[in-house]
């Protein structure tokens, strides 16, 4: 007998060799029906695999990440089986799960291509195969047998994968006529897969390397019930309605023009207003934290970027240098603000008493992103960073870093961003030529970030090889409406630029010392931040940010004059107000302005005009009653203050 410990710490005894599915049956029939995989001592297993010793287990259902992954992983195999049925001789790359669903990279024989039109027939085939209720069998196989088998099949992708595996740890999974190399785990039977949607098709380089062949990647998602798939598809449709590209156009926030060029956003009046509001907010916060605003030009001598290292690292992929009539003179559109800020630092001799110096600029930079990478406002070629550089003494570094984390949290709080990931990006010790600077400085910088995050009690994930070329960083990522993750705030520690620019200060010991730099941008870029903000709020911005805060709606043209008085009063009180004096009925005006997402609608007719009042309607909430004008003004001010209180004053 062996002892099995369940997640609630209760212990049950079973025969040695008991399987997950048998344990589930012994607990309840319902669980036996719902269970998808079992976690045994932290490792996810097939339900049919025998357990040979005392173990801690967890039975995974659809509610568990591990359960879904098993389900989708098996779905990927089912899809592969369906594709092989139509295209015998297909070579299969990898078929993992993703956040929602799975994909498989395939290479069809004789240069055949899949297109979106083929997805439906593959879906149908998958349903047909699932209904055959084939058991899925796990087999351990020797490396040489595995190599032989896939060589015979002509699947060079799999043989490449096998050749990198350890002998003795290779497993195959078989269902019906389909066998695949796979670490598992899988469902016991394909019948659990009831609802299937193949969502898209895309090219993907083999092993993610652009020097390799491009395979066809088929994405899909499956569910144990049709209803769940239907709900999922509705959810995706809802998410598309929040897409910042759609809302940005609809709400008149920004536009693109072919004539101006790809990836170069045009901020329309309402978008510019929104952005200015965000900038003012951050300026106030930064003022409280001792920052000073600076302004630098949009171009700089190419020598500046040779000094910083940007030219060497990115010169080939940037906008090309700008020539002047003078022989040999070259300028670059600035891809970063830091070199300019270093030169501001150098404008004066600095004393240790001057530090830290915190230099902030809403600096517009230009980077030649690859054309396929451009995406609405989230990935553009010209954008404005809410940039700042902190020049400090090494003993001030950690404290300064922590203060920047505070600023980022102030912003997240003001905008109710609760669902973020904090990622520490360190250098890849295997690939040192990607970076500039000494190992010693890198160690110091990485250590400072790790300690600052610990002391702030921040939940972080750590990625090796994701650092900037001049230093490690802490990034904050937020998801958009479709679940894609975007990097917003970033804080980077840098010992290298101070060295390259010969930055120095005179210490208390009367010797020259080198300052440390922190690069930081809490929004990241105004463009990307606004994009994510639009998707978060579905365009319903908090009152303090809304480009138009109030719209006045006269009941009929008879009250237009009074409506204009209201309009002027509010605009003179710094409340952004517009008027809808179209020749329409009041119901129509309310509907149209609700749809424009204007926070407050003021209805004025005979009653209001006589009493110098307004009828207040809050967007999404309906009638709020009638108020005197100054009373309404206070009412609004109060709501704004509640949103911003304590954040910068």
Partner RNA sequence: GCCGGAGUAGCUCAGGGGUAGAGCGCAUCCUUGGUAAGGAUGAGGUCACGAGUUCAAUUCUCGUCUUCGGCUCCA
Of 186, 379, 389, 403, the one binding RNA by CB under 7 A: 379
Q: How far is CA 237 from CA 198, 214, 232, 383, in A?
A: 16, 30, 9, 29
Provide, rounded to whole angstroms, the least separation between the CB of residue 488 and RNA: 12
In the complex with RNA, which residue's Cβ is closer, 51 or 616? 616
Is 338 a catalytic site residue?
yes
Could you tell me whether strands 2-5 and 55-60 are parallel, antiparallel, or unpaired per DSSP bridges?
Answer: parallel
Please report whether residue 320 would count as binding RNA according to CB under 7 A.
Answer: no
* Unique residue bearing structure tokens 């894609």: 484
367 is catalytic: yes
Report how far residue 594's alpha carbon sits from residue 576's, in angstroms, rounded to the nearest whole number: 16
Site for RNA in 506-565 (CB under 7 A): 519, 555-558
Which residue from 197, 249, 298, 456 is in contact with RNA, where contact means CB under 7 A? 249
Which of 30-38, 131-139, 273-281, 612-620 is the region at the interface with RNA (rule: CB under 7 A)? Answer: 612-620
CA dihedral 582, 585, 589, 592 (to 10 degrees): -100
Contacts with RNA in 161-200 (CB under 7 A)? Answer: 200
- The answer to whether 360 and 342 have CB atoms below 8 angstroms apart is no
Cβ 482 to RNA, closest distance in Å? 6
232 near RNA, rule: CB under 7 A? no
Contact between 373 and RNA per CB under 7 A: yes
- Alpha-carbon distance of 301 to 331, in angstroms, equals 4
The span of 27-35, 158-166, 295-303, 366-374 binding RNA (CB under 7 A) equals 366-374
Find the catalytic residue in 77, 403, 519, 597: 519
CB of 211 to RNA, least distance (A): 9
User: For RNA, which is the closer residue by CB, 545 or 616?
Assistant: 616
CB atoms within 10 A of CB 275: 22
- Which residues between 389 and 428 bind RNA (CB under 7 A)? none
**Which residue in 634, 638, 632, 637 sits closest to 617, CA to CA?**
632
Count of residues touching RNA (by CB under 7 A)? 78
Q: Using N-to-C axis directions, what is the helix angle for 65-86 and 116-131, rounded to 10°?
A: 110
Q: Is residue 622 close enough to count as binding RNA by CB under 7 A?
A: yes
45, 92, 256, 632: which one binds RNA (CB under 7 A): 256
Among 473, 520, 597, 617, the active-site one is 473
Which span (11-19, 58-66, 367-375, 539-547) binds RNA, by CB under 7 A?
A: 367-375
> How far does Cα 507 stand from its chain's mean position?
42
343 is a site residue for RNA (CB under 7 A): no
Stated as kind and residue range, the H or E segment containing 404 is helix 397-414
Q: Which of 387, 475, 480, 494 is catalytic?
A: 387
Does 210 interact with RNA (rule: CB under 7 A)?
yes
Q: Let me know if 389 is a catalytic residue.
A: yes
Cβ 484 to RNA shortest distance, Å = 6
Find the shortest distance in angstroms from Cβ 448 to RNA. 18
Does the active-site annotation cover 514?
Answer: no
In the chain, count H helices and then E strands. Answer: 20, 35
DSSP secondary structure letters along 510-547: SSEEPPEEEEEESSSBHHHHHHHHHHHHTT---TTT-S
Q: What are the helix (H) ranges across 204-301?
A: 226-241, 244-250, 269-288
Q: Is 385 a catalytic residue?
A: yes
605 binds RNA (CB under 7 A): yes
Q: Pick the piece of the chain touching RNA (CB under 7 A) from 73-81, 146-154, 292-300, 584-592.
A: 584-592
CA distance 458 to 444: 20
Provide φ and ψ at 445, rounded to 5°: -65, -45
> Which residues are tagged catalytic?
338, 367, 385, 387, 389, 473, 519
């Amino acid at each position: 007998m062996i002892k099995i410990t369940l997640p609630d710490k209760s212990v049950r005894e079973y025969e040695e060799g008991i399987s997950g599915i048998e344990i589930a049956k012994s607990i309840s029939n319902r669980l036996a029906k719902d269970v998808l995989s079992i976690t045994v001592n932290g490792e996810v297993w097939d339900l049919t695999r025998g357990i040979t010793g005392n173990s801690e287990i967890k039975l995974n259902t659809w509610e568990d990440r591990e359960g879904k992954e098993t389900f989708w992983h098996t779905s990927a195999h089912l899809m592969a089986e369906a594709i092989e049925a139509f295209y015998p001789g297909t070579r299969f790359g990898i078929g993992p799960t993703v956040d929602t669903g799975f994909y498989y990279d395939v290479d069809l024989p004789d240069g055949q291509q899949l297109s979106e039109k083929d997805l439906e027939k593959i879906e149908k085939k998958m349903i047909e195969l699932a209904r055959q209720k084939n058991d899925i069998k796990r087999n351990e196989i020797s490396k040489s047998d595995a190599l032989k088998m896939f060589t015979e099949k002509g699947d060079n992708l799999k043989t490449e994968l096998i050749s990198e595996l350890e002998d003795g740890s290779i497993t195959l999974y078989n269902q019906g006529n389909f066998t695949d190399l796979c670490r598992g785990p899988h469902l016991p039977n394909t019948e659990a897969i009831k609802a299937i949607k193949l969502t898209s098709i895309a090219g993907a380089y083999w092993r993610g390397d652009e020097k390799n062949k491009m395979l066809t990647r088929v994405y899909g998602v499956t569910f144990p019930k049709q209803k769940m798939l239907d709900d999922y598809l509705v959810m995706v449709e809802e998410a598309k309605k929040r897409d910042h590209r759609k809302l940005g156009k609809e709400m008149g926030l920004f536009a693109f023009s072919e004539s101006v060029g790809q990836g170069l956003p045009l901020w329309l009046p309402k978008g510019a207003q929104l952005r200015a509001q965000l900038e003012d907010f951050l300026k106030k916060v930064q003022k409280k934290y001792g920052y000073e605003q600076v302004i630098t030009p949009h171009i700089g001598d190419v020598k500046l970027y040779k000094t910083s290292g940007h030219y060497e690292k990115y010169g080939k992929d940037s906008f090309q240098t700008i020539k002047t009539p003078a022989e040999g003179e070259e300028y670059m559109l600035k891809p970063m603000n830091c070199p300019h800020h270093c030169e501001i630092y150098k404008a004066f001799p600095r004393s240790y008493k001057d530090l830290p110096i915190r230099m902030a600029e809403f600096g517009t930079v230009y980077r030649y992103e690859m054309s396929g990478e451009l995406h609405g406002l989230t990935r553009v070629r010209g954008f404005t960073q809410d940039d700042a550089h902190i020049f400090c003494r090494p003993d001030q570094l950690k404290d300064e870093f922590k203060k920047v984390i505070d600023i980022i949290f102030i912003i997240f709080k003001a905008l109710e961003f609760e669902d973020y990931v904090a990622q520490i990006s360190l250098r890849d010790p295997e690939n040192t030529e990607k970076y500039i600077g000494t190992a010693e400085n890198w160690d110091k910088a990485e250590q400072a970030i790790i300690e600052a995050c610990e002391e702030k009690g921040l939940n972080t994930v750590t990625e090796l090889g994701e650092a900037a070329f001049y230093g490690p960083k802490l990034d904050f990522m937020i998801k958009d409406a479709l679940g894609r993750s975007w990097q917003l705030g970033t804080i980077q520690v840098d010992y290298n630029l101070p060295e390259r620019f010969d930055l120095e200060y005179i210490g208390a010991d009367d010797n020259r010392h080198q300052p440390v730099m922190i690069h930081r941008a809490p929004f990241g870029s105004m463009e990307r931040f606004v994009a994510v903000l639009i998707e978060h709020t579905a365009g319903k911005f908090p009152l303090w940010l809304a480009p138009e805060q109030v719209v006045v709606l006269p009941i009929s043209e008879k009250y237009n004059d009074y409506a204009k008085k209201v309009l002027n009063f509010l605009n003179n009180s710094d409340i952004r107000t517009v008027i809808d004096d179209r020749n329409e009925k009041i119901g129509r005006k309310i509907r149209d302005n609700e749809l424009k997402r204007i926070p407050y609608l003021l209805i004025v007719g005979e009653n209001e005009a006589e009493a110098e009042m307004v009828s207040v309607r809050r967007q999404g909430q309906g009638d709020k009653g009638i108020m005197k004008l100054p009373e309404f003004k206070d009412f609004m001010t109060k709501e704004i203050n509640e949103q911003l209180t304590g954040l910068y004053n």
